[in-house]
Structure 1
Amino acid sequence: MDKADFISRFGGAFEHSPFIAERAYDAGLVVEPLSASGVHAALTEKFRSASQDERLGVLRAHPDLAGKLAIAGGLTEDSRKEQAGAGLDRLSPEEHARFTALNDAYTTKFGFPFIIAVKGLAKDDILAAFERRIDNSRETELDTACAQVEKIARLRLESLIPENS
C-alpha cells in the first residue's frame, strides 16, 4: 500500500489527525500484511511521541458527545456511527441538557472535550463516567483521554481491517 492510500484509509483513526498515519508510514512502522493490531501499534507509537500540543490538538479534534456538531450533522461518519450506537442521537430534552452542561463544565475545566470510547456503552454508562471523571485532576484526565483516544482508534481500525485478513 502506498503512502497516499495508507493515509486515506487510516488517517481518520485518530480524529481529524492524518499526520499520525503519515508519520507512522514515513517511519517505516507499517508492515504488510496489514493487521488492525499492527497498524494500531504504529499509529499509537506516533501519537505517544507527538508533542504535548499535538496530542492536545488530537483531543480537541474530538466532538462533544451529543453536542452542537451532532445536532447540526457535522460529525465525521465514524463519530456519528459511534454516538448513534450509544443512543446519543436519541436523547430526551432533559438528557440533552445534562450532556450540554457536563460538556461545558468539562471543557472549561480541562481545555479539551470529554472523550470516551462509546462502543458497547449506553447513554447512562456514559453519563456516569462523565460525572465520575469531571472530578479528576487535569493530569489524570489528560492520561485518561489519551487512553480513550487510543481505544477509539483501535476500534476504528478493527472495523477497517479484520484481524485475520
Structure 2
Amino acid sequence: MEVKARHISEVNRMDYEEFIEVFGNVIEHCSLCAAAVWRYRPFRDVKHLHEEIGRFIDDLPEAGREAILRSHPDLAGRLAGLGKLTSESTREQKAAGLDGLTQEERTQMATMNNQYREQFGFPFVICARENKKEAILQGLATRLKNSPQAELAKGIIEVKKICYLRLLDLVEHEGVESRL
C-alpha cells in the first residue's frame, strides 16, 4: 500500500477525526498519542509534530510509557505468523528480513522474546527499519542484560524512532533529516 505524503499545511488543516485517522498508528495501536497532540497545531514541520508526540510520551507516568511498549507486537511473533500485524509493522518487519528467519532463528527469537517479556513486562521494541535480523537478534540478547529502568528508557527511544519514520511516510519532509 503506497501512502500519500501530505504537506504540513494540509496536516494543520485536518480536523480532529481526520488527524486521528491518518496519524493514529504512528505509535503502534496508540491513537491517544495523536489525539493528544492535535491541539498543538499548527506544526512547523514533521520534526515539530514528532517533538510534540515525543513530549507527550515523555510526560506520561511510567505505567503509561510501559503501556505504549505493550502495544507493540513481538518481532516475528505469533501475530506476524498469523498475518495479523498492522500494515506498518508488516512492512517494517519485512524490511528487516524478519519474514525470512530460518527455523533456528525463529526459535531463538521466540525464546528470547518470551524471556524478555517475562523479565520486563512488555515486548522487546527496536526500530526494525533501522536494523536487519542479525542486529535485532543480537540487540535482543544484549538488552536482556539491562535493568527494567534502562529497558523502559531504551524501548521508548526505539518507539520514537519508529514514530519518526512513520511520520516521514505520511508528511512531506523535504530538507528534513530522515534519521533522528
> TM-score scaled to structure 1, two decimals?
0.94
For residues 15-164 of structure 1, the aligned pairs below 5 Å read 15-25=28-38, 28-32=39-43, 35-164=45-174
Deviation larger for 7-16 or 35-44: 35-44
For residues 2-21 of structure 1, the aligned pairs below 5 Å read 2-21=15-34
For the residue of structure 2 that corresponds to 1:65, the secondary structure is: coil
Question: Are the counterparts in 2 of residues 30 and 42 from structure 1 also a CA contact under 8 Å?
Answer: no
Identity %: 35
Provide the aligned length of Structure 1 versus Structure 2.
162
Question: Are the counterparts in 1 of residues 43 and 49 from structure 2 also a CA contact under 8 Å?
Answer: no
Map Cα deviations across residues 56-115 of structure 1 (whole Å, 9 max, x no partner).
111001000000000001100000000000110111110100000000000000000000
Q: Which amino acid aligns with 1:20?
A: C
Question: Are the counterparts in 2 of residues 47 and 55 from structure 1 also a CA contact under 8 Å?
Answer: yes
Unaligned ranges ≥5, structure 1: none
In 1, the alpha carbon distance for the partners of 2:146 and 2:52 equals 29
For the residue of structure 1 that corresponds to 2:128, the secondary structure is: coil
Q: Which amino acid aligns with 1:37?
A: K
For the residue of structure 1 that corresponds to 2:169, the secondary structure is: helix
Question: Are the counterparts in 1 of residues 80 and 90 from structure 2 also a CA contact under 8 Å?
Answer: yes
Q: CA deviation at 1:36?
A: 1.8
For the residue of structure 2 that corresponds to 1:135, the secondary structure is: coil
Q: CA deviation at 1:32?
A: 4.7
Q: CA deviation at 1:50?
A: 2.0
For the residue of structure 1 that corresponds to 2:99, the secondary structure is: coil
Q: Which amino acid aligns with 1:29?
A: Y
Question: Are the counterparts in 2 of residues 86 and 119 from structure 1 also a CA contact under 8 Å?
Answer: yes
* RMSD of aligned Cα (Å): 1.3
In 1, the alpha carbon distance for the partners of 2:111 and 2:147 equals 19
Unaligned ranges ≥5, structure 2: 1-13, 176-180
